[in-house]
Structure 1
C-alpha cells in the first residue's frame, strides 16, 4: 500500500498514528539502555562478575536477532497488529520476572524473554513501508526514529536516578509499566496495514526467500546498517566499563554519558526526515558513514595523544549517533524497498543481522577493553566498524550505477 490512508488517532480501523509508531520503536530502545547504569550494582546484588552481568546485553541482543527472523514472516502471514500485541504482553510479563528473579541465571532467562519487544521496532518500520514508497518511507522512518531517539537520550538518566534512589529493581518496574501502557495504546490505535493478498502459508513465503536473499542491493543495505550500528553496540558493551572503571563516574553521570549518542541520533534522524526525499537514500547513508568515521577518527587521535577524558569519549560518541541517525532510516527504507511485498520479512532479516552483529560486538568490546587501561581500544573498534559501513554503501552505489549503465 503506497497511497497513504486517512489516520485517526485511537481508531484501530485506520493505520496507526505516528505517536504510536514512535512509542513502539522506542520501548525497545528504552529496554536496552535504561538499566545500563545499574550493571555494576546488579553485579553486586547477584554476587557475580561484571563479565557475567554484561551478558544481559549480549544475550539480549542475540535473542532479539533470532526472534527477528521469526517476527517478519509471522507479521507477513498473520498481520502486524496481532504480532505487536502478543510481543508487548510477553515483554511486560518477562520484565516482572526480571524484578523477581532470585538468581542471575533466572534473571538472564527473563532478560532474554524481554527480547520479544523487538517486534515493536521491526514492525513500526514495516508499517511505514506499507504506507509509503521508498524515499517517502525513509523520510517517515527518519521522523519516527527521531522521536524514538529521545527515549535513549533520557532513559539512562532516568535509570541511573532510579537506581541511586530505589535500587536497580525500580528501573525494571518503570519498564514494566511502560510496556503495559504501550500495549494498551496499541490495542486501541494500531490498525492493520499489511498488504492484502499476503502469503497464506510459511511455505509460500519460503519460496519467495531466494528473490530477497539473492538481491545484492539488499545485502549492501543490510551490511551498511549493521556495521554503522556496530559502532553503537560496541559502545553499549564497553561504555559501562569505561564510565565506572576508566573514568570513575557514578551511576547518574554515567547515565548522562550514555545519552550522548542519542543527542546526535535525534539530529541525524531529523536530517533524514528533512532531506531523504531530496537527496535519496544512498547519499544520506554515505554522508552518515562519513560523519561517524570523521568523528571517531578525531576521538582516537585525541585519546592516543594522551588527552583522553570522559568528556572526549562520550562527547565524540555524539557523532556515532549523528551518523546512525542518517544511516539507519535510509538503509532500512532501502532494504525494505528491494522487494516491497516481503517488507516485514526483509525488516526482520535485516534487523537480525544488525542485532546479531551487535551482540558479537558488545562482547568483543568487553574483551578489547582489557587490552589497555584507557578507552582507546573501544574507540578503535568503533572506528573500524564505521569504516566497514562506508565500504558497504559505496558498493551499493557502484552496483546501482552499474545496473543503470547496463
Structure 2
C-alpha cells in the first residue's frame, strides 16, 4: 500500500487498541493457578504483569518517535508479527524464566495502543481529537471488559495456555485487518529524528504537556495497581474462582466505556480541562468511599468492585482528554507525545502494580490496594489542578 494519507476505518483503530489491551489482562484470573503450576510465589508470577508493563513503557518511548519518522503502518505491522512469535514462546515455556522472557517480548504489542492515538491526532485537532479518542477507547474497552471473563472460563476448561493461544489467533486476524486497511497518516513521509530532537525542548518545557502527562499517568496508575492486586483480592479475600474473578473484572471496563461515551459526547462542548477535572474527582471520590468501607469492615465484592467501576468511569473521562491534550502541544510530534505519555503511564503503572503485589500478603485484605489507588487518584487531581492554576495565571492581565 502506498504511503498516502488514507484514514484507516475507526474499527481498525479499535481492534488495534483492543488486541494490545487483551494481551495485558486476558490471563489475569489465571495468575494464582499459574503460580502453583510453575511452583513460584504469587509475587513472582505477578511479574508477568508488572514487568510486562515496564517493558511496555520502554517500547512506547521508542515506538512513538519511530512512528513519527517511518510512519504508523510499518510500526503496527512489525509489532503484530513479533507479538505472534513471542506468544508461541509463552505457550511452549517449560519454566518460569522462559515464560517471563517471552512474556516480556510480548510487550511489543503496546505500540498498537499508542499508534491509534497518534492517528486520531493526525486527522483531528484539539477538542475534536478528544471526542474521537473517546469513541476509539470506548470500543477498545469492550475487549478488556470481556477478556478476563473469557480467560477465566478458558482456564477452567483447558488450562492457562489456552489464553495465550487465543491471543495469538486474534493477533493474526488483526494483522490481516491492518495489512488491508491501515493507510498511512503521517504527513510528508514522516519527520526525521534530527528534526524531532530539535523540537523536543519545546515539548518538554511545556507545563501543559507535563500536567496532562501526570494526570493521565496517575489516573491510569490506579487502574494498573488494580490489575496487579485484584486477582489476589479476588482469590484470597473473597474466595472467588478464576471465572468469578473474570466476571468481576468487567466492572472497571463497564465504567470506562461509560466515561468514554461521556467524553465523546461532551469534550467538544466542555473542553479538555473541565472533562479531566470531572473525571479525576470521580475517581478520587469513588476510591475513597471504597477504602472507608473496607476500613469499616464492609468487605464485600459488590462494594469493592463497585468502587472500581466508578473509578473506571472517571478514567474514561480523564484519559482521552489528557491524551488529546498531550498531543496538541506539538501536533507534528503526535507519535512522540503519545509514546512518551504512554510510557510514563505504564512505567508508573508498573511501579504501582509491583507495589500492590508486594504489599498484598495473606491476611492483609484489600486495604493496601485501595490505599495505593486513592493516593494515585489524588495525584491525578493535583496535576490537572496545576494546569488550571498555570493557565489562569497566564490569562490574568498584568
Range into which the TM-score falls when normalised by the shorter chain: over 0.9
Q: Which runs of 4+ in 1 moved over 6 A?
A: none
Tell me, in whole angstroms, the C-alpha distance in 2 between the residues paired with 1:102 and 1:377: 33
Could you tell me which of 253, 257, 260 is aligned with 2:251? 260
Counterpart residue number, 1:42: 34
Counterpart residue number, 2:324: 333
Q: Deviations over 1:184-236 (max 9, x none)?
A: 00000000001226323x23322221111111110000000000011101101
Could you tell me which of 62, 73, 81 is aligned with 1:81? 73
Tell me, in whole angstroms, the C-alpha distance in 1 between the residues paired with 2:362 and 2:180: 51
What displacement does 1:404 show? 2.0
Q: Deviations over 1:302-345 (max 9, x none)?
A: 11111121221112100111011000000000000011111000
Three-state SS of the structure 1 residue aligned to 2:387 is: helix
2:194 is equivalent to residue 203 of structure 1: yes
Counterpart residue number, 1:358: 349
2:71 is equivalent to residue 107 of structure 1: no
Q: Deviations over 1:248-290 (max 9, x none)?
A: 1001000011121001000000000000000001000000011
What displacement does 1:243 show? 0.5
Counterpart residue number, 2:181: 189
Counterpart residue number, 1:141: 133
Maintained 8 Å contact 1:12/1:190: no
Maintained 8 Å contact 1:371/1:377: no
Map of 1:272-311 to 2, 5 A cutoff?
Answer: 272-311=263-302
Could you tell me which of 386, 392, 395 is aligned with 1:401? 392
Maintained 8 Å contact 1:12/1:189: no
Q: Deviations over 1:48-101 (max 9, x none)?
A: 111111000011000000000100110010000000000011111111111011
Counterpart residue number, 1:163: 155
Q: Report the RMSD for the aligned CA atoms in angstroms.
A: 1.4
Maintained 8 Å contact 1:286/1:394: yes
Q: Structure 1: where are the runs of 5+ without partners? A: 1-10
Three-state SS of the structure 1 residue aligned to 2:188 is: coil
Counterpart residue number, 1:239: 230
Tell me, in whole angstroms, the C-alpha distance in 2 between the residues paired with 1:281 and 1:304: 35
Tell me, in whole angstroms, the C-alpha distance in 2 between the residues paired with 1:23 and 1:320: 24
Maintained 8 Å contact 1:12/1:188: no
State the TM-score, normalized to the length of structure 1.
0.95
Could you tell me which of 221, 238, 250 is aligned with 2:241? 250
Could you tell me which of 254, 260, 282 is aligned with 1:269? 260
Q: Structure 2: where are the runs of 5+ without partners? A: none
What displacement does 1:368 show? 2.5
Counterpart residue number, 1:52: 44
Q: Deviations over 1:147-199 (max 9, x none)?
A: 00111110000000000000000010000000010010000000000122632
Tell me, in whole angstroms, the C-alpha distance in 1 between the residues paired with 2:250 and 2:96: 26
Maintained 8 Å contact 2:236/2:362: no
- Cα separation, partners in 2 of 1:231 and 1:371, compared to 1, 3 Å: farther
Could you tell me which of 60, 64, 67 is aligned with 1:72? 64
2:122 is equivalent to residue 130 of structure 1: yes
Maintained 8 Å contact 2:277/2:384: yes
- Cα separation, partners in 2 of 1:204 and 1:13, compared to 1, 3 Å: closer
What displacement does 1:13 show? 7.0
Tell me, in whole angstroms, the C-alpha distance in 2 between the residues paired with 1:381 and 1:374: 13
Count of residues paired in the alignment? 395
Maintained 8 Å contact 2:154/2:160: yes
- Cα separation, partners in 2 of 1:13 and 1:181, compared to 1, 3 Å: farther
- Cα separation, partners in 2 of 1:353 and 1:17, compared to 1, 3 Å: same
- Cα separation, partners in 2 of 1:384 and 1:372, compared to 1, 3 Å: farther
Map of 1:93-104 to 2, 5 A cutoff?
Answer: 93-104=85-96
Tell me, in whole angstroms, the C-alpha distance in 1 between the residues paired with 2:335 and 2:99: 30
- Cα separation, partners in 2 of 1:13 and 1:127, compared to 1, 3 Å: closer
What displacement does 1:373 show? 2.6
Tell me, in whole angstroms, the C-alpha distance in 2 between the residues paired with 1:304 and 1:48: 31
Three-state SS of the structure 1 residue aligned to 2:364 is: coil
Counterpart residue number, 2:314: 323
Tell me, in whole angstroms, the C-alpha distance in 2 between the residues paired with 1:287 and 1:346: 23
Could you tell me which of 205, 216, 219 is aligned with 1:225? 216
State the TM-score, normalized to the length of structure 2.
0.97
